[in-house]
Amino acid sequence: MAQLFKNMFDLTGRVALVTGGSGGLGGETALAFADYGADVVITSRRKDALDKMAQEIEAKTGRKVESIPCDVTQEASVKDLVSKVVANHQRIDVLANFAGMNIPKPAEEYPLEDWKTIIDANATSVMLCSREVGKVMIQQKKGKIINVSSVRGEYGLAKNYLGYCATKAAVNMITRQLACEWAKHNILVNAIAPTVVETALTAHLFKDAAFSAGLKARIPMGRWAMPEDIVGAVLFFATDASNFVTGQILYVDGGVTTW
């Protein structure tokens, strides 16, 4: 019997580039892509962390993972990264933009220097990587781009999230605009928007017991998200299962946005 739908999530033969791929959500995504058959390239600024993650993924999946350091806030570095990936693999089928950060400070004291830093890290990086990989995908006449937003791109938080909320709202609109412009090239652009995911990026939240308890109380499922909770949504957007879906922000939030 033919496998009518069993291969919808198969990434065999696809080339996937993951920014922020040295750990956290990016590392888990790279692992999932490799496990589903993709040739994976991971990037971040730290070569040592990248190599360690590549070795971990290779040990778990048996698949070779390439690591290329890059500063995704710098145009020249991004162009060099994309050139190397194309030279080594001839194509890029999936881009997952997981690089990002937070600088939690009160709005009334938010330094302009920190504002510029977080804009570059969370929004400019998405634009640069999508723009350069988009050029490759336009030539291929197809591709999938997955961005990482947050429920904070739609909803505020009681304190210290001015920069983060603003940049994730920007990611939402970058996603929708690219989807609109590039649909004619069969390039599908979507975003996932998690609630709090337990990673190094969110560790500061758990230091304030009362504040973190209040956050958790707003999650109907009663727990934080874990990196592995994000994988299914990312795979959906990266594979043929989502071939008629673009410009969407998918909330992976345990029900936060239901009330």
Global confidence as pTM: 0.94
pLDDT at 208: 75
Which residue do the tokens 């009160």 mark? 106
pLDDT at 201: 66
pLDDT at 205: 67
Q: In the chain, what percentage of residues exceed pLDDT 90?
A: 83
Q: Are 18 and 41 in contact (CB under 8 A)?
A: yes
> What are the φ and ψ backbone dihedral angles of 177, each rounded to 5 degrees?
-70, -45
Residue 96 CB neighbour total at 10 angstroms: 29
Q: Are 26 and 100 in contact (CB under 8 A)?
A: no
pLDDT at 102: 92
User: Stretch 137-164: mean pLDDT, rounded?
Assistant: 95
Residues 6+ apart with CB under 8 A from 108: none
The yes/no answer on whether domain 15-254 falls in CATH 3.40.640.10 is no
Q: How far apart are CA 57 and CA 73, in angstroms?
A: 26
Distances (CA, A) of 81 to 46, 95, 98, 111, 117: 14, 12, 15, 31, 21
Residues 6+ apart with CB under 8 A from 202: 102, 196
Both structure tokens of 66 = 């390439």
Residues 6+ apart with CB under 8 A from 232: none
Domain range annotation of the chain: 15-254
User: Stretch 226-255: mean pLDDT, rounded?
Assistant: 96
Averaged pLDDT of the chain: 94
pLDDT at 2: 58
User: Stretch 65-88: mean pLDDT, rounded?
Assistant: 98
pLDDT at 1: 46
Q: Are 190 and 157 in contact (CB under 8 A)?
A: no
Check if 110 is active-site.
no
pLDDT per position as a tens digit, 20-61: 999 889 999 999 999 999 999 999 999 999 999 999 999 999
Q: How far apart are CA 116 and CA 7, in angstroms?
A: 43
User: Stretch 222-246: mean pLDDT, rounded?
Assistant: 94
pLDDT at 88: 97
User: Stretch 222-234: mean pLDDT, rounded?
Assistant: 90
pLDDT per position as a tens digit, 193-216: 999 887 766 766 677 777 778 778
pLDDT at 89: 98
pLDDT band at residue 125, thresholds of 50, 70 and 90? very high
pLDDT band at residue 157, thresholds of 50, 70 and 90? confident
Q: In the chain, what percentage of residues exceed pLDDT 70?
A: 97
Both structure tokens of 81 = 């990264």
pLDDT per position as a tens digit, 85-117: 999 999 999 999 999 999 999 999 999 999 999
Both structure tokens of 151 = 């429920």
In the set 36, 161, 164, 251, the catalytic residue is: 164
